[in-house]
Structure 1
Amino acid sequence: MTDRDYEVGESVAVPWGLDTVDGVVVGAYGEGSSRRVLVEVSLGEDATETIPFSPRALELARTPEAQSPPGAWVDAARFENSVRAALLQALHELKPDWEAQTYSDVSIGPGERIDMAFVLADRLLIVEAKYSNLDKPSRDVSSVDQLRYFLSQLRQEGMDRAVALLVMNRQPSEPLLKRAYGMRSDGVPVWVLAWETENVEAEAALRNTLSAAMFYEFSDA
């Protein structure tokens, strides 16, 4: 699959969680593997958000059969369930007195949903579980940009103390990890990690990342 040029004003499908939404190209920047296409996505009620996508991400969204063979949703659902169970166990280990308040497929706006949310004593934890059949590290940063948008929406609704995890079944690429690190440096608490059942190292990484999110110090600004 080769990258093609995208023209300003062109209508495109963009990846949004495990689904796609429509958007309009408004610009582009970068060259080669760093090239990004700026797409304006409608969020309902005349609200829009401009998000950068790699050309490959747009091509895969345009032809979903290239990344999601028949029956792939079953694997994705199983992965999401395993992530939920692992997070619940880790939360109880980190906070033995936590009274579980969990929600799935949470609506956050017109056509927008969060895979799962956990209500903690002093903050809300939102989680997106992203399953891919591609046998290589994910380089797509759109998922962390989506979580950044979700956190901004929650802040507008008065939920200032919210943190987010992106849990993947593939090892995230270095650019993806750097993107999340940069967001945290800017006060947007987003973490990315890989998860695999019956993997001791993955379990330890999940507990450590979850602990960092639970004890993240919010700015008073």
Structure 2
Amino acid sequence: MSRNIKELEKKISYSFSDEGLLKHAMTHSSYVNEKRLKKTDCNERLEFLGDAVLELVSSEYLFFENPKMPEGELTKLRASMVCEKALAFCARDLDLGDFLLLGKGEDATGGRKRDSITSDALEALIGAIYLDGGFANAKEFILNHVLNDLEGKRLFYDSKTILQELVQGNSGKGICYELVGEVGPDHNKSFQVEVRIGDTTYGQGIGRTKKAAEQEAAYQAILKLKNRKA
């Protein structure tokens, strides 16, 4: 763990009675395997629990926020709110990857920024808060760090789709993503992508995958288009 656990407690606005639970939530299976610990010492069981708590809280939130929305639409909306990309976005806001206990190999290959790892860690953290402080504290964390600014989060993690909708609805011009640079060794590479609408460059993005770089570029393009309309 590259940063102090007390710093993480400040970020999440919750102090654990049992700090062992917080450490458990931040322990990835690669660390457990490397240290030859028990399989149950990793955060997967806490992730299982946190996922259930998150589903209940997000379902209740949507139920009362959208009193006329039918069940099918509620289900789709909940799925988009708690999908891997959305949770990874929330984890990034908390710098959660910096607090993870990872195996050396996983750490060296960019595991601290991998969406699948950080989203699972966020669910494990929810499970740990639930066990340590009960449902009310887990719910408060979810409302403050997962269900806050939903529109802004979707704008980022679903930016390619939103940009496509914006451009089709207004100009009808084609969107092109072009890889313009690569930095770093093969096992820990960053990609730089530009997005063009017609012949004009509207945004640039950098990410650990081409897809992540495209999302960032699309996000920058959306902001530029929105500023022009303002």
TM-score normalised by the shorter chain: which range applies? under 0.3
Normalised by the length of structure 1, the TM-score is 0.25
Structure number with higher helix proportion: 2
Normalised by the length of structure 2, the TM-score is 0.25
Structure number with higher strand proportion: 1
> Larger C-alpha radius of gyration, 1 or 2?
2
Q: Relative contact order: is structure 1 or structure 2 higher (C-alpha 8 Å, sep ≥ 6)? A: 2
